[in-house]
Amino acid sequence: MQRNRSTKIIATLGPASGEQETIAALHAAGADLFRLNFSHGEHADHLARLNAIRAVEQAVGTPIGVMADLQGPKIRIGTIQGDGVDLAVGAAYRLDLTGQPGDGQRAPLPHPEVFAALEEGMDLLIDDGRLRLLVKQLGDDYAECEVVTGGRLTDRKGVNLPQALLPLGAMTAKDQADLRFALEAGVDWVALSFVQRPDDIAEARRLIAGRAAVMAKIEKPAALCQIDEIIELADAVMVARGDLGVELPVEEVPALQKDLIRRARRAGKPVVVATQMLESMISAPVPTRAEVSDVATAVYDGADAVMLSGETASGGFPVEAVEVMNRVAAKVEGDPGYRAIMDAEHADPEAPSADAITAAARQVAETISATAIVTYTTSGSTALRAARERPPVPTLVLTPSLITARRLAVAWGLSCVHSADASGFTDMVDRACRAAADRGIATSGDRLVITAGVPFGTPGATNSLRIAWVP
């Protein structure tokens, strides 16, 4: 299926969208990749949804990516007596390891690592920042705090520590079990939550061992201190604005989003913008004007993909949410201002010959008014180089690897076809012309710019460029 836009759409599956019929409708509406959120649901639920995705993929003949989003080390308050307690501004409140249900004077925080990382004067944000506590005094198993922002505290609310570098890896025991299941099921991407340091990515890559690509979710301020190293080690990054907006002043998030997109694009890594993009569509059939502007901003910034979460997982209008995002992205990309931004901000090619060939393909396509660029790839590296260039024409990717085709579903402007490797230049040109015609990208007499590596089938060996006319 050929899209009328280059920015990709990720849809999260859940109770509102787990049936094959709904998944097919979401894909037809514009979803290019589906997210399985392991913070919710059982393994059996996720497996059923993945199998449904593969059935839709088989029916439409287009590679569809699947992402397993791991929960990560989410810190939570323990149980609270009754239906919760009200914390007044200025009151003293104690967090400790006793494990007893909380009340109006104290609450359990069953995470020893938190007390090891806390310092006096640090803030604790509870329930997505709705409550704020200031640490006044510390012991090995407790923290005496002052309530800065009051409100009602109930069971199991999340806790954020924006000023602390927690002695935690990015994967808990639950995450490791979920990872093993996801890899056995055959997911294409693993999204790693609450990344703090490059070592978190390195450890995930060791465990994954090439069986899936790794996406680093940037939602902790600590990650920003080594962000370039994290981007270098990851296969893609996600600007996860939910927790990021809790742990940082909200006014800092827009500029940070733009900076992360620029850094990822410069590195040639796909970048996803996520969280609350069309939040009101969980309960309403149309979005707010501010939400539409938010989606448009991410597209104007050059994000590879935009993601829907609760809108499609649990909302009342999952297909409509994808349709809105599809229309907004297509409209932005049709704006001459968008093309001017892409032309001004695409990264300079690097030293390898593959980069030079890919950059040249973009220039040649513009010079000769080619209808599309066609690239042959085995590992996907050549295709990602093409995406980094943000060319003004579609990029058709032919690959003998179905795994590669699925992984590339997240990358800007790439339309992937699972195809046998070419046997020679003549066969390469013929396959490219047929694929472009079959996808409705080109018609008879149109020109294509084709890049490939010789000998064929050698990963990362792009070294040739051809111009072809569709017969």
Cα–Cα distances (Å) from 306 to 9, 24, 138, 303, 358, in that order, read 5, 19, 42, 7, 25
Chain centre to alpha carbon of residue 433: 32
Tokens of 66: 């699947």
Question: Of the residues 275, 312, 371, 375, which is catalytic?
Answer: 275
Is residue 136 annotated as part of the catalytic site, yes or no? no
Tokens of 144: 């005496």
One-letter amino acid of 259: D
Query: What is d(CA 127, CA 311) in angstroms, rounded to the nearest whole number?
Result: 20
Are 297 and 303 within 8 A, CB to CB?
no
Question: Of the residues 7, 8, 12, 35, which is catalytic?
Answer: 35
Are 355 and 451 within 8 A, CB to CB?
no
Query: What is d(CA 20, CA 1) in angstroms, rounded to the nearest whole number?
Result: 18
Coil, strand or helix at 94: strand
Question: Of the residues 217, 269, 362, 431, which is catalytic?
Answer: 217
Are 70 and 38 within 8 A, CB to CB?
yes
Query: What is d(CA 37, CA 315) in angstroms, rounded to the nearest whole number?
Result: 15
Is residue 388 annotated as part of the catalytic site, yes or no? no
Is residue 434 annotated as part of the catalytic site, yes or no? no
Assign residue 439 a region: left if phi > 0, alpha if psi is -120 to 50, beta otherwise?
alpha
Helix, strand, coil share of the chain (percent; to 5): 40, 25, 35
Tokens of 303: 């994000």
Q: How many CA atoms does the CB half-sphere of 90 hold within 13 Å?
A: 0
Is residue 76 annotated as part of the catalytic site, yes or no? yes
Tokens of 201: 């990515």
Q: Tokens 């660029």 belong to which residue?
A: 373
Instruction: Return the closest-CA partner of residue 161 out of 230, 268, 73.
Output: 73
Query: What is d(CA 439, CA 54) in angstroms, rounded to the nearest whole number?
Result: 20
Query: What is d(CA 16, CA 78) in angstroms, rounded to the nearest whole number?
Result: 29
Query: What is d(CA 269, CA 69) in angstroms, rounded to the nearest whole number?
Result: 18
In 273-345, where does DSSP find H-type helix?
289-300, 310-313, 318-333, 336-345
Both ends of the chain: CA-CA distance in Å? 22
Tokens of 416: 């992937």
User: Known catalytic residues?
Assistant: 35, 76, 217, 275
